[in-house]
Amino acid sequence: MIPVAFLAFLIATDTRSQNVCDGDCRRIDVPACESAWAEHVSAVFLGIATDVRDLAPEPTDVTAKWEVTFRVKEAFRGVAEQTLTTGGDNCGFPFSKGREYLVFAKRSADGKFYVSICAGTKFAIEAVHDLQYLRGLPNEPPGSTIFGTAFQYVNPIDNNPGHWGVVRRMKPMVGQRILVEGHSTRRYETLVDRTGRFRITGLEPGSYTISIGATDSVATSQRAVVADKGCAETDFRRTITSKAAHR
């Protein structure tokens, strides 16, 4: 069985695709605490696909389109619709009749629900951690979480075309300060631990800027939006130059 996340990655790296899929296909495993609250997600539920039916193509369709009917077992967010569509573009999710899925669906302007392969939907057997989070939401304390990793590449960029795809070694940016600033005057700080990870909890929902101060005093920043009881994962990757590599 090919993991859904890998299929989404193939779509993201397919230069022939003319569609921008809802979600982020470049990230292999987006946590449910982030994907469940994304603006392109209106409903999250666990269900079994009881029917997968081909739909007649429309003039704007570039691929096949399907209507999928579900037997909903658990509803976590929004209205757990029993019928949705997917496909017609390059972002369709390959549902199979009789399989169980954790579904992340979007309500379109016409009121119908649509599923993109990049929005988080996956086989139930691949959703153990997602379901653990979703089932625990009623008992989860208020507040949001921002977490991630911070690593520095050990070697400089290799521009040799023959070396494309070579994995570059990295080391944790241990002790680097992570600063989180939002709409309020309060600032949140933490340090990168010895494994390269950081986490800040108890944030108010909203938009934040996450910054890391590098060893050469050059700050790098990213932005994230978090919902109550939700999260945002932010990863920093610092590239060194050839000159710095030989110091």
Domain boundary among 120, 139, 158: 139
122 shares its domain with 151: no
Domain boundary among 114, 139, 164: 139
Which are the contacts of 140, defined by CB distance < 8 A and separation ≥ 6? 229
Contact call for residues 146 and 231 (beta carbons, < 8 A): yes
To the question of pTM greater than 0.95 for the whole model, the response is no
From residue 53, alpha-carbon distances to 69, 114, 123 in Å are 8, 14, 19
53 shares its domain with 120: yes
94 shares its domain with 130: yes
47 shares its domain with 84: yes
Domain boundary among 104, 139, 174: 139
169 shares its domain with 102: no
Amino acid at 241: T
Across the strands, what pairs with 48?
71, 100
8 shares its domain with 33: yes
20 shares its domain with 96: yes
27 shares its domain with 111: yes
- Domain containing 16: what range? 4-139
Give the domain CATH number at 114. Answer: 2.40.50.120
Per-residue pLDDT of the chain (247 residues; tens, 9 = 90+): 546 554 444 444 444 344 578 888 887 789 999 999 999 999 999 999 999 999 998 898 999 999 999 999 999 998 766 899 999 998 999 999 999 999 999 998 888 899 999 999 999 999 999 999 999 999 999 999 999 999 998 876 666 666 555 667 889 999 999 999 997 778 899 999 999 999 999 999 999 999 997 555 456 899 999 999 999 999 998 876 555 444 4
Domains in the chain, number: 2
Helices (H), the chain: 4-12, 32-35, 128-135, 242-245
Q: Which helix (H) or strand (E) holds 137?
A: none
117 shares its domain with 187: no
From residue 43, alpha-carbon distances to 3, 159, 175, 221 in Å are 22, 44, 39, 31
From residue 122, alpha-carbon distances to 38, 116, 231 in Å are 16, 11, 19
Residue 70 sits at φ, ψ, to 5 deg, of -120, 150
